Structure 1
Amino acid sequence: MHAQIVLFDGFDPMDVVGPYEVLYAGGLTSGGAVSVELVSAEGPRTVVSGSGELAMTATATLDVEHADLIIVPGASGLFEPNADQPGSSLPERLAATTETELPVMMRRALDDPGVLVATVCGGSLALAMAGLLEGRRAVTHHLAVDALAAGGVIPIQARIVDDGDLITAGGVTSGLDLGLYLLERCLGPRISLEVEALFDYERRGTVWSAKGAEPVITFAPDAA
């Protein structure tokens, strides 16, 4: 399984590093069944995150034809626009991705049955802003659920939401849980469990999917 994690200007580093480390460890544990690289829509470049001057290097161009898994992170920044720093708020940074080639590339990914798309935190909101998730079930950071719904998405209150070829994770640290679930789904629970043991991390939350019995009484809001 070859995974590509997308970098864009203002991305959240933890959204990237969490799943990257998990998938990389999954590759080691499985004897090379997983490979992972950092990419951007523009090609190889240094990409500055939204956390100060911290930057990471995209070593290749996002390539739907050669990826089995594509992960889109969220952005880092304040929720409210700052007149002294235009374009630096989290919503502005996510919206800026819609002006790049990323939406076109991600549309191809979502239309390709051989590609699994995943997001961390505001990554689902970035795709929703581009009109790519209408009618899909997804999750994002709890502070952005209303914005996600405004994009035509059916928000689900869960740490991880499995909507078939789209898997979304909630806020920031859920990227670790996303990575472990992706290993379990794609390679099986034994590999995922070994990586959990390596990181001394116990996965959090129950993965939501539209499987099994439907509850007649619900306690989780919007758990459609």
Structure 2
Amino acid sequence: MLAQFVLFDGFDPLDVIGPFEVFSAAKEFTDLVSVELVAADGPGEVRSGIPGVSLTAAAGLDPERADLIVVPGATGRMVPRGEDDLTDAEREATIPAILGRALTTGLPGLLAKALAKPGTIVATVCGGSLILSMAGLIDGRNAVTHHQGLDVLGAGGVNVIRARVVDDGDLVTAGGVTSGLDLGLYLLEREVGAKVALAVEELFEHERRGVAWRDHGPAPVNT
């Protein structure tokens, strides 16, 4: 299973490193997993949204090769309602602006190919689902994002589920930045097996939080 972790200018480092390290650690317990840091524009250094922090893409994002593609969100400030006095530099550093710039690259087209390819899983952490939504790729799908972006996600035609991890088949999304660890462990269990996932969970001394939501079973009553 080849897992590719996407980098783009302004990405949130922890969104990437959390699930990336889960799958990297899994290689100690199984030969079924391989990992790559990738970018839509190909190999090279990619700046995160934290000054002085960069990661290096080893390859280009390739939906034809990848079994799993993980898309992070961005690091920056949200724009409070009614705040019109930002300088151009401050506005360019906001999360909406960073995600908007990611949409001008080859990333949306590659993600569209991934979602259209049978057997390929696209997963997101935090604002990664907003990239998919802003690109018009997940209308009508079940997903989650950081709690500050839930209204934006819902306005984009997505069925917002308030869960830490939302499993919608070939689309698996997670909430805020720390949920990337839970996402990685959940996907590892789902795709590789509980024994390997438990071994990594014990290695990290991290217990997953909450229930991973799936569209399965009866709806709760009296809610």
Question: Which interval holds the TM-score relative to the shorter structure?
Answer: over 0.9
- Aligned mates of 1:20, 1:59 — CA distance in 2: 13
Instruction: Name the CA distance, whole Å, in 2 between partners of 1:28 and 1:203.
Output: 20
- Whole-Å separation in 2 of the counterparts to 1:214 and 1:205: 17
Between the two proteins, the alignment pairs up a number of residues equal to 217
Separation of aligned partners in 1, 2:153 and 2:208: 25
d(CA) in 2 for partners of 1:54 and 1:92? 19
2:77, 2:148 → 1: CA distance? 12
Q: CA deviation at 1:84?
A: 4.8
1:166-185 map, 5 Å: 166-185=171-190
Residue 98 of structure 1 corresponds to which residue in structure 2? Answer: 103
State the TM-score, normalized to the length of structure 2: 0.95
* Displacement over 2 Å in runs of 4+: none
Q: CA RMSD in A?
A: 1.0
Determine the structure 2 residue equivalent to 1:158.
163
Determine whether 1:121 maps to 2:120.
no
Could you tell me which residue of structure 2 aligns to residue 26 of structure 1? Answer: 26
Match among 191, 216, 220 for residue 215 of structure 1: 220
Q: Which runs of 5+ in 2 are unaligned?
A: none
CA–CA distance in structure 2, aligned partners of residues 14 and 60 of structure 1: 20
SS of corresponding position for 1:66? coil
3-state DSSP of counterpart to 2:177: coil
The offset of 1:217, in angstroms, is 2.4
Kindly, what percent of the aligned residue pairs are identical? 57
The DSSP-based 3-state class of the residue aligned with 1:99 is coil
Matched residues in 1 for 2:154 and 2:94: separation? Answer: 20
How far apart are the structure 1 equivalents of 2:166 and 2:222?
Answer: 20
CA distance in 1, matches of 2:155, 2:105: 21
SS at match of 1:22: helix
- Paired with 1:188 and 1:39, the residues of 2 have a C-alpha distance of 25
Worse overlay, 2-11 or 74-83: 74-83
SS of alignment partner, residue 27 of structure 2: helix
Alignment match of 1:83 (pick from 64, 70, 87): 87
TM-score when scaled to structure 1?
A: 0.94
SS of the residue corresponding to residue 6 of structure 1 reads: strand
Q: How many Å apart are 1:216 and its aligned residue? A: 2.0
Q: Can you give the 5+ residue segments of structure 1 that lack an aligned partner in the other structure?
A: 219-224
The secondary structure found in structure 2 opposite 1:152 is: coil
After TM superposition, the structure 1 stretch with the greater mean CA deviation from structure 2, 77-86 or 45-54, is: 77-86
1:156 Cα shift? 0.3
Structure 2 equivalent of residue 72 of structure 1? 71
What's the counterpart of residue 112 of structure 1?
117
The Cα shift of 1:97 comes to 1.2
* Letter of the 2:57 counterpart: A
Residue of structure 2 in register with 1:137 after alignment: 142
CA separation in 2, counterparts of 1:59 and 1:203? 29
